[in-house]
């Protein structure tokens, strides 16, 4: 089986505190499960974090951004 690779990796984003930011990556294989992490901590969908995935594109939306989210 061919390994799943990043076609487009995450890019750094700047946003003002209190706003929201969308982080996007693209994978080489559609429908591949994505686990979003901050350091060693797995992120779960909540009021703060929203996950979207369409085909090969995965998105993480972080709401009400704080400096601790960097």
**Cβ atoms within 10 Å of 55's Cβ, excluding its own:** 11
CB 44 within 8 A of CB 37: no
Which are the contacts of 15, defined by CB distance < 8 A and separation ≥ 6?
21, 65
Q: How far apart are CA 66 and CA 44, in angstroms?
A: 17
Chain mean position to CA 19: 16
pTM: 0.88
In CATH terms, the superfamily for domain 6-62 is: Immunoglobulins (2.60.40.10)
For position 1, what pLDDT does the model report? 76
Give the three-class secondary structure for 32. coil
Query: Which of 1-5, 17-21, 35-39, 53-57 shows the lowest mean pLDDT across its residues?
Result: 1-5
């Amino acid at each position: 089986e061919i390994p799943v690779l990043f076609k487009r990796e995450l890019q750094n984003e700047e946003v003002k505190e209190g706003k929201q930011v969308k982080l996007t990556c693209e994978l080489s294989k559609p429908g591949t499960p994505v686990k979003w992490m901050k350091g060693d901590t797995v992120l779960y969908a909540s009021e703060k974090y929203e996950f979207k995935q369409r085909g090969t594109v995965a998105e993480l939306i972080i709401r009400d951004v704080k400096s601790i989210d960097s």
